Amino acid sequence: MADTPFRTEDDAPFVAGANLSALQYRFLKAHSVEGQVVAIAAATDQPICLLLDKPDAQGKVCESRQTGTWEVEAGAAVAYGALVQPDSVGRAITAVATGYVCGRALQAAGAAGERISVTINCVNPWLKA
C-alpha cells in the first residue's frame, strides 16, 4: 500500500489555478483543470473550498478547507446565524435564491471586508430556492 500524507478531514488538497494571493479568507471554485481552484467569478458559482493562505502563482499548493469553522471575509453586512453563500468575488454574503449555500455565520458582520467566523460546508453546498 502506498504511503499517503496525513490529512485532517478539513484539509482540501487543491492547487492554485492562478495567482490567488489577494483571495485569502474567500471561497474558491473548481478550475477546468483537475485538482486546481480559481476565483469565484459570479454569485451563482458553486464553491469548492475556502482559501486560508496566499498562493502567489499557478501550481502552488493551497492551504484550503472544505468543512469546519473558519474566518471568512464578508462581502456585505451579515447577521449572526444567517445562511451564507459566496458573492461575485468569493466573500460571504447572506444567501439568496440561485446562490449556493455553503455555511452559517457564527458572528455578525457590519460591512464588507470584515472577517467573521463561519461554519462552512463546501463538500455539499446546496442551491437556495
Number of helices (H) and strands (E), helices first, in the chain? 0, 13
Return d(Cα 9, Cα 34) in angstroms, integer: 20
pLDDT for 129 equals 81
The residues of the chain scoring below 70 in pLDDT are 1-10
The model's pTM: 0.91
Residues near 54 by Cβ (< 8 Å), separated by ≥ 6?
A: 20, 21, 22, 23, 24
Residue appearing with cell numbers 452559517: 104
**Domain assignments of the chain as residue spans, ordered by start:** 67-127
* pLDDT tens digit sequence for 32-61: 999 999 999 999 999 999 999 999 999 999
Burial of 39 (0-12, 13-18, 19+ CB in 10 A): buried
